[in-house]
Every structure is written in structure tokens, then in C-alpha cells.
Structure 1
Amino acid sequence: MAEALAAFSVAANIVAFIDFGTKVFSAGYRLRKSAHGALDSNETHEQMTTDLANVINDLELSIRLSSTDCQLTSNELGLLDLAKQCKTVATKLFVALEGLKIQGKHSKWNTFKTALKTVWKETEIEDMQMSIDRFKQQLIVRLLASFRLVSNPQSTFYRVERIDENTQGVGEKFLGFIQEARTWKADIIDAIHRDKASAEDRGLMKSDPHQSEREVYLQSLLLRRLHFDDMEDRHNRISKAHETTLQWLYKDPGGINATWSSFTKWLSSDSNLYWITGKAGSGKSTLMKYIYSDQRTFDGLAEWCGGKVLHTAAFFFWNSGSEMQMSQLGLLRSLFHQILSKCPTLIPVVLPARWESSLVFGDDPQPWTLAELRQGFELLAADDLADKRLCLFIDGLDEFNGNPMNLLSLLKDIDFSPNIKVCISSRPWVEFEDAFRDRSGLRVQDLTYRDIQAYVSSHFLGHAGFAELERREPEYASQLIEEITQKASGVFLWVNLVVHSLLAGFGNADRLSDLKRRLDFLPPDLENLYRKMLKSLDPFYLEHASQLFQLIRASTSPPSLLCLSFADEDEEYVFKCKVRPLTREERTFKADVMKRRLNSRCKGLLEPMIKKSRAIEKPEKSIADHTVQYLHRTVKDYLESPRVWNMLLGACQSSFDPQLALLRSSVLQLKTLHPHCLNHEIFWNNVKLCITYAKALDAQIPSLDLIRVLDELDHAA
């Protein structure tokens, strides 16, 4: 250690010259001539020459003392050579400074650099500045090498005596030699972070698992810096699952005809991603919280671990919370805090620069950056994790406030790790469907019909108010639970709000008409949800979204994906399209494209509905026949309220008429209908639809446009 400190003494003298030169050339020394022609300023000329002379003397002394040591390392020899170069430049600067003394009268000098131009050429000044900057960069490189030599447990310079939390780091000791300690500390930490070396290359890996008191202290300090105030807030706010719900998750989904992937099989398998999706308000977050707290989850993961130690971490995005709760930076800080709290030996592996600067200086005050944490996540995914395995639970990807592709890029890192699994949830946005459609997963609203029944029943049965309703209106009471379940359309949030409203009505002895009105009323909390969903629409697609909402409202019945696809075509397509049946592949392609457009433009407010009377029944074979409807009846109420509807109409700048678009769609459906499907009823129903939409056309639509479309109808018929 003594030899290392001697090297730091040489480095400290180099620092003194660099700081002097930097101050000189950055106008740190300001000069002016007095009335007598002598240089005068807060920093006098005499003081400058004295300071520089002292720097030169210290450099010369440290060079002379170090040159007598025959056992210098290559790094120490490099420091010695750098000190000699600094002495040469310092001497040249001293000569120039002396030359200013004997000059005659000159105009006012604002700075030493200005004065220096009277004795040096501009190129000489630039060379001097460049030399000082180069010396600083070279010195930082040498200092890092020295720090690593002293800190590396494998080095002969490593301190073997007891190290407690009060022990100074080697960098802290070095800063005691110099004046501008804060600036140099920041510069050296910057250099540590710019270095992309691994933990092993930095000499951070220890063969001895024992940790000193100081290392334990620095780990706790680093973890405190990762933590943020509302890190657990969203998880705590999510309602717990009702005691009789979600039990299906840990059961067999039903073999070859199952509509979802077995969660228990995924837990114990080598498959590394499970996607839970569902419409807004369907209970995805509640399900994720349930999963993360149920012992059966950890029992299944234990099988996957095969004797290795399991560690878990969870993050719940929330776009109504703080910036950290909806950002990738918050996600990574939270996950790393949880993982590294349980596995502190991973800190040097995933955050090597942060750990090195902490060891050297006792702390690293730099703010966390997304680049640093993303690199850490890549290192985590690439590490073999020795005797450990990780499972991450990330809820609400759709509540992330950035580009979803950035999250998908992060998750791709896990694909290459056999030791990390992740369970995620999100709404079925296009980006997520494209990324996860082939992965294990489930759709929540397909599986909660009986849960909703059980939830409503448990709140009503045994309630004095409901018992009174059963006495007064036995027929209505017997149908109420089933009516709520069917009207829910899988939106558990609506169920929760309506049930509590009805319970209040029972307690208030509401009339039957009052209870029916409560059942049809849009709860304020749900309105807030829809308002946020509407605000999340991409501004680029807002006009297109407005057109789609208008088409749904104008349609005489929920349109199929194929019908909506035809209505969404360019105006001239109806005339260019030939009279011929679409193949199954063409129908499916058009429906798929329309589904993606709905997803990206409307963000779940409109969605294709699979034709089935119960979630457990099989869907229709052709996606083209799936009807497009509102996420829930209350979405219709919200969007068609005067204020919201006027806003949507205002977003539509072009001359768009939904009746004309639906008329063109009806004509196109006739032109492309397969002969096997064509019968008297279907034919005349389409013709009647065309007449209905033609009669409803806006009076502002030119009659020529209508006549052209009706002529095309006649041609198709």
C-alpha cells in the first residue's frame, strides 16, 4: 500500500499542474495593467509565478524520489513519464510568465491568456492547452489502473487487514492529496462509467465469498440509491382477489381444445415467458397480484429450479402514478433493488462501474441512467447465475409511458437466458400481440364468467336488502345476478362498481325502476378509465379512430370485421373491385388487417367479439365474421355523450360520412359473396341495408356520389 501511496503522491503533483494550467487557460486568472504599468489583479502576477514555481519544484522532487525506486510497476513508470512531460511544459509556461514582467507598456489585458498572446503564437497557445487536456486524460487512465491494482483482491498490493465501514477507499485517500477534490472525483467517476470493462476485467470478482463490513455498507448504500419512494405503491393499491375467484388458474385448462395455456405447466417448464392479456378493467392486475402472492406459484417454480435457489421480483406499471411508476427507469430500478437485495453478490456483475466507483470513493452520487440499467439487465440475462434462478412478474405493459417497442427489446434479452422466466400482463395492443401471440398465455375475460357470478352472489346472498328484494320482486331478484354477469362482458371493474351501487340501493329501499337505473348507470370511476384510454390514442391516428367510432355508431347492427374492413377502404375501391367471391385466405387477411387497425387506432375501446354464448364454448371458425363492438356497454355511453362525441367529430377533418362508407361496404359484400352463401334472404337483406344507409345519408353529400354507388349496386345484383 505504501508503494501505491507514493505513486499517488506523484499523481497529486501532476494534478496540481493540470489544475493550474486549466485555470490559466479558462480565464481563471484575470489581469489588468495598473497606471504604473505593473500587472495587477486579485491573483497577482507574483503569486502566479510563485504558484507555478512551487508546482515545478514538487514535480521535480517527486520525479527524483521515484526514479531511485528500482521496483516500479509499468503503470508507475507511466506516471513518472507523465510527470516529466508536465515538468517540461510547466517550465515553458514559467519562462513565458517571466517574459511578461519585462514587457513595455501595453493595452489592458483581461486575462492571462490574452497577455500570453504577446509572447506566444496562437498555435503555441493551442498546443499548450491540448497538452494539458491530454495530460488530464492520461492521468485519469493511470489513476484507474492504480486504484484497481490496490483494490484487486488478487493483487499483491491488496490490503489484507480488517476493513470496516469506516475504512476509506483508495480514491478517497488520493483525494486527500489534492485541492480540487470534488471536480476530480466527478471526472474519475465519469471515466469509470465510460469504461465498458466487465467486473472481472475491473478486478471486482472475489474468490473468497466473505464480505467485509465496508462492502456490506456500500451494498446497502447502493440499494438505497436504487430505491424510490412509491416503489411498492401500485402493488399495495391493487385489490386482492375475492376468496372464491381465480381458482381456475392452477387447474388443467382442458386438454387439446383448451382456449388457454396451462399456467402450472409453464411454471415448472423451461418456457421463459407467459402472457396474460385482457380488455381494460377485466382484472389483469388483480390476477397478477394473486399470482405473486400464492404459494402454488412458488411451488411450481421450485420444480423448474431443480435445486437451485429461486429469487423473484415484481413491478406493477401505473400510468396514474408518478413518473417512476410508469417508466422503464422505474421498472429497472425496482427490479434491481429487489434482485440485488436478495443476491448482493450480483452487484459487481450487473453494475460493475457503479460498484467500482463505490469501492474507490465510498459512494457514487451520479443519478441512475437508463443506459446503465439497460446494460445491467443485459449482463444479468447473460450471466449463468451460478446456483440461482429468477422469475420476474411485470404487470401493465400498456401503462408504460414510452414506446412499447422499448419494453419488448428489454424482454428479448431474457429469451437467451435459461435461468430467467417472466410473467407479464397487458391489454392486447398490436405490438404485444405480434410479440407474444405464439407464447404461453391466457385471455382473462374468457375465464372469469363464473368468477363474476360468484363475486356477485357472495355480495348479494345473505344481504338484508337483497333478501327484501327477493320478497318484493322475486322474479327480478332471481334474474339479477345472471343479468349482471352477462352485462359485465368480462369487465370486472364494472361489476365491482355496479354491485356496490346496487347494494346501496338495497339499503335505501330503492324502487325497481331505481335499481334498473343503477344497473344502466355509468360509474364515475369507469368514466375516468375511458377518459384515460381516449387520451392515450395516437394523435396521428385520431382522425382514423374518429371515423371508426362513427362507423360503429352508424351501423344498424354490430358490423363484422369484414364489413368494417370494406367500409374502411378508399372511396374508389367499390368501383374497382370485381364481382367475384373472396377466398377464405383473402377474407382472413382483410379481417386480420382490420383487427390490427382497431387495436392500434382505438386502443381497446372497440374490439372484435368472438361469437359464443359462454366463454367456454368454441369460437366461430372464421375471424372475418367476428363482430366489432364496444369494449363494454358503458364505453358506448361515454363516447356518445355530447361532449366526447363532439370532440371526436372535431378530430375528423375530411368530408367523411359513415352512412356512405357503410353503403359502399354493403355493396362490396354483395360483390364478393361466395355463391354457396348466396340465398334469397341474404341477398335482400344486403339490398335493404344499402337502401337504409342511402336514405340516412347526410344531405350535404353530392347526389352524384350516391348515384354512382347505387349504380354499382345494380351492376353487382
Structure 2
Amino acid sequence: MPQPLLTVGLATALVQTIDFSANILSENHAIYPSSDGASPDNHTVLRDITNNFHRLSFRISENDAKRRGAEKKNAKLSEAEQHLLKLSDELRELVDPLRDAFLHVQPRGSYSDPKWGSAREALLTVWKEKDITNLLKKLKNVKKEVDTTLLFALRQHLDQSTEKGVLMTSVHDPKTHHWERWQIDAINSIHTNAWKPKNRKHVEEFSKHVDALVLAENKAHFCREVFAHLHFVEQDDRLQSISTPHEGSFDWVLDPRHEKQASLLKWLGDTSGKNLFWMTGKPGCGKSTLMKHLFRNERLFPQLEEWSGQLPGFLTGCFLWNCGNELQKSSIGLLNTLLYETLQDMIYGPYKQDPGIVPWLFNDRWNQFLSYGGGLNPFTLPELRAAFDLLISDASKKFLFMIDGLDEIEEGPSTLLDIFLTAAQRENVKMCVSSRKAPIFQQAFNGCPSLEVDRYTRGGILSCVLYAFDQNDTMFSIPAEDSDGTEERAIINMIVEKSAGVFLWASLATEILLQDVKETDDVATIRARVDALPFDVKDLIAYIVDSLDIQQLEQAARLIRLLEAHGYPNLLPLCFAADVDTTSGLAAEARPLTSLEVLTTIDDMRNLLKFKCKTLLAIFEAGPMDEARSDKVDLKNFRVNYMHRCIRDFLRSETIRGRVKEATHYDALNTDENWANAHLWTLKTLTPRNDNMPIWDALTNCIEYALRLEAASKCIRLTYLDEVSAALTHHLSIYLLADMDFPPGATVQSFLDIAVLLNLSGYVAIKTDKAADRKEIRHAMDYAKDVRKVIDAGGEEKWLGKRAMLREAYSSSSPPELAALLEYHTKSVRFSTQKPFVELPEWV
């Protein structure tokens, strides 16, 4: 990066803060209503204003730290940098009271109060008119000084570059940071107009360029926030976790020699207006595997180019998963994925669309952001629908959307069917969707081109069975009298025929046969086992469950309970949760696991899933799509889930649940104890990831489960939380705080800081009473006060997430006697003050 960029960064942060402050203080700056004319409530506006102040303050501090850090390393700061640091201190003194005033106003802005027309109206409930006028004048003066200083820095850089013969050229690559693009354009303007920092008119002209930079930075931040809301961690998990099809299994679908199968290829290039293609078939027949095989397959592109002609085309997909988390099986998650992937491709792909398309698609939110820092809350379904419709309304672009598993939607497919059928009426949109043969889909897609997948999967199933048997050392090395291979081949054919085109049936049947085969078996015995297998998938699953002995059933039921209680867990935490000793984490050493320990733990889980649970549950790898795979295994990409939705649906049925409960200790398992132990193990064995210690989630997961257990037993989990505290102390002693993902606002020093912040009243009372350190308690109180400003200003969802018990504790009122006790222990001399009495809760 060119040297002045550090100066540009701090100047941008300062001007953003000044502009935002001046806008909300202005008489004419109204609160932007949504397109339906409804104004946001007072509470939301005030929360968003304070949240934006915290964000801007953090940006200034971040840039300040870089310069002050450079100064400490004996790197001489330029005159411009030194002056900007001085101005940042001045601005903080002006803006901090303004931010605190809006925090003070928040309790007055209840939902039921009449709505304020502007932020200034709200501020006037605690400030006087002259206070606002004086502040506006001071902000204007600081803005002028920042502009002058930045012009001075760029003028100086221009003069030095001219002496060296270095010319600045304009850049238009969207991947180039907008600071760099702006800097080059600004220096070119300075050179062309011969602007000088001592000329008032020159500074005023340059100030317009600075305003353009601030607008670009606001757009960039808005885009980042939109993408952050559209994206979710598990977005590509289903696509990645679907097994790659066995070689040749689905080549038929792209073979133009087969008239029926080639209908997909014809449809891709067709311009007749039949723009929706339906992949259907029996459950488990391989629809998802086929859709993965087709998704971004280069063999589709020639036909797609026939359809798109000279217009740019975008191919986006979503693979829904009913066994996944909430977003993986919802309409909101689907539209999030389609919008995110398409916009990423538009802006950063070969087409290089202007990022301004994001504010255009979400215009209401963009105007709310400019108005009061709002518009950054999670999207609603109507908003996503409107943005999607607007996106595809651009007839200068062609869109192909591939959606797998419409029947996987938890809330039902009606909404999606309306969206997709409407979209497919556009000449520039094609939809390739898959689902089971439910009546709702048969009616909706009547007359659309379609393909019944199970009618064409026999060859693929045969290849998979042959491959599985070939990998088994025992199968068909079994001697048979006068055998010429006919009997062996007949068994394979029987499996293929009984599968009736369903890969899932063939996979389960093959697996159970391979597990049961012994060297003492003969061909006739194996044939009898195949003959005994039920034809239907559900009946086969029931057959497998019935074949489990009591120990296997107990272990399978235990894992299923743990899976259902947590929902879509990572592999290693589930390994910890499966430990029958729910106190093992208390004695565990705080250190990363060795490679051997990790591999041994995972191998034990693999064997448990395969041989004890008969592959009803499976390990899935869901790595990032666009990153090159390395030899190093990243455990966060491995999750455990049901082998298939059919298995989950069967095991969730009332009949099978009743049978399992009768045969096992199904209801006796306290899954909260297991997962509390697992999260403690996870916290203790944390390792840095990409120079960052992901400690916050692990820490708050431990606290969430400690609170769950406390609510159930009415006892504080003191021993457990003390181990959490020890693990945190261990990490703080090794890793830099800057590399840990704690909420901004203050520096954490001990677990007591976190306990006071999150309002763990019982634990705090016990620790304060047992061992009170004055400085530690004072720091915890100050830490909680400072960080709560950040969290309360709109950060609750980010930092507390969906942890219900933690959020309840955080939002509850701390007992006044506890607050008094904390204040008592912070005093250096307490002879004349009576110690407040706090009734300590029971603990274990």
C-alpha cells in the first residue's frame, strides 16, 4: 500500500465520526422511514445511534493504535500523523459526551412514546439548544483541520513522488481497496488543480473529495454488514457433505446420445420459456448427489451460453438440509444463500459489477444507515424476497439457480414455490430444482420438464456395490464348490434389483452385509441374508435397528440424544460429549491435544458410528468450497449427523422412540451434563486459528451450560466455573489479548470480569465473599460498565447469540445487596463501613 494510506485511514475515521455527529444534531436531518411509511420506534433509533458511535470510536482507536504503536517502535511519525492523533483526542472529548447523552436518553425512548422526528429532538430532552449549537461549531472546526491535514499529507507525497518520477494512475479493479483508489484519484486532482493546504478555497474543493471518500467508506461498511447478514457459517455445508458420486454414476445425465436424459441439456439451451426443470424421485435415490454433480459442471456451460447469448450469466445454488440447523432448512436461509453467492460473483467475479448494487437492492436499509446508523439488523423474509425479485429484474443479466431439496424446508415449501414459479416466468431466469414426489410439487410443476432420477440409477448403484465389495477383504474370498462366479454375481444383482433405484437402500444393505460377513460364511449364507432384507427403505432401517443388541442400542440412543440436544455438532465436541464420565473435563489439563490424541479420539468415534450404530449416524466433512484443500485436517469442518433424512424421520417417529425408551435408559441421560463437560474440554484444548484465538464462543458455551445446570439443580456450579476460570487464565497467560475475540470496549484481565459482565450473580457473590481482591473487583466493575455499552448498543445478538440462559442472566437485574458488596470490597479502608449482608446460594 502507498505510504499515505495510514493517514487516509485515520482521517476517514475522524471525518466519518464528525459527519455522523453533525447529521444527527442537524434540525433538518429527519429519521428515515421505511418504504411502507412506517417510522422505526424510538428505542431502535437510539440503539442504532449509540451502536454506530461505538463502531466509529473503535475505528478511530484502531487507527490510533497503529500510529502510537509505530511511535513506540521508534518509527518516526510524520507531521500530519502527529496532528491527526492530536485531532483524534480532541474529537473524542467532543463526541464521547454526545454518545453518552444518547445512552442516557434510551430509557426515555420507550416503544409506546410518540416517535421523535429527528435525533436532535431526542437529545433536547437531556441537552440544551446552546450545547448542540456549540458542539456543531467545534465539529466544523475539527473537520476543516482534518481536511487541511490530509491535503498537506497528500500534497507532500505528490511532491516526493514527482521528484522520484513516480506517476499515479487510476485503478478500477473492485478488489482494490477504495482507500487506495480514492487516494490515487485525489492525488491526481491535487496535481491537476495545484491545490495547496494553505489556500482556503483549495481546502474547500478538496473537502468535497473527502466527502466522497466518506461516502465510499460508508458504502463499503454497509456492504460488509449486508454480506455478514446474508452469509452464515454452514451455508455450503450440505453441498460439501454430499458424497462425490462414484466415477461414471451420473454420466448418463449429460450424455446427448440418450434422448430422455439429454432433455436436461436441451432445456439448458432452450429459449422457449419453459424455464423450470424438476429433478424428482424416491427418497434416497441420489437426487442431491446428482444435483452436486451438475452444480457448476463445466459440461453445462456450452448449453447455457446458447441460452444467455452475449449477456453475462450467473449460476448460483443452494442445497437445503432438513437435518441441519435452522438456516439450512428455511426460506430465509435459502434466499440468504442465493443473494450472497450471486452478489459475490457479480462484484468479485469476472463481471466486476459496481458494489453499489448492494445499496440499490437494500435501498431502505441504506437510507436508514445514512440517517441514524440503522438498517443493519437481520433480514426478514419479505425483505429478502423483495431484494431477490429486484436482483433478477435486471434483464441485462441471465441467472441459473439450482436448488436441491425443496421438500427439506421446515416451514413447508409454499412460499418458495411462489418465489420460484414467479421467477421462472422471466426470460432471463432458469430454475433447476429437486424434491420428492409430493403432491404439492406434482401439482406445482405439472407441465414442466422433469426427470425421475431413480429410473436411471441402476448402473451407478451396480458400480457402487461392486466397488464396496471389492474393498472388503472377506467378501467373495469365501470358497464355493464348483463356483464360476455366477452365484456371487447373482447376489450383487439381487442387491441392485432390490434397491429399486435407491442409492440409500443399496448403501445401507451393502454396509450391513459387509459388517456381518465372516470367513466361515459361504455364498448360500450370504445370499440368504440378502434375501432376508426388506425392500422398502423404512423397513430396512427398522430391520437394522432391530438387529442392534442392547449395548449397541444403548450407545446409539445415547448419541442420538446428544445430537438432538445440541443440533448439528462438530465432531470433536461430540467425542467429548460422548464420554460417560461427565466430570472428566474438570481434571483435564489446559493444553492443546496432540495429533495422536485427536486421531485416537476420532477413530473411536468412527468405529462407534460404524459398528455400534450401524452407520445410522455418520461423519460429514463440510470444508470451504473456494479454498484449496491442504493435507492438514481442519477438525472444525467435520460434523456428525444422521446418515440421511429418512433415518432421522424414522428414528424420530413415536413408535421407534417408544421402543428405544423401553429397551434403554433413554430418559435417564442428562444431556446438559454431557455438553457442559464437552464445552469445558473444548475450552481447555483450544488452539489458535489463523493467528486468532476463538475463545469467546467456547467460554460462553461453558457459561450457558453452567446456568442450565444451575437452573435445574438450584445450585451454583462453582467447581465447574472455577475450572472455566482456570482455563481462561491459562489462555491469557500464553496468548496476546489482541488475538482473542472478546467484545471491544475494555481489556479483560480475569474470569471475574466476564462473570460481572454477564451477571453471574451467585458465582460473583461466592467469589467476592470467599476471596475479595480490591483491584480485581474494581476492574471487573469498570470492565462490565464499559463493555455493556457496546453490547447494549445492538451487539447482544452477536456476542450472546441464541444462548437463552446467558441472555436471561445478562438482562436480569443484579441484587442491590450484591452491588453494595462489590462497592464495599473496592474501598481501601473499610473500618467505619459495615459489610453488606448477601445470602450466599448453595454450590457444588
TM-score range, shorter chain: 0.3 to 0.5
Work out which of the two has the higher radius of gyration on C-alpha atoms and give 1 or 2.
Answer: 1
Q: TM-score, normalised by structure 1?
A: 0.44
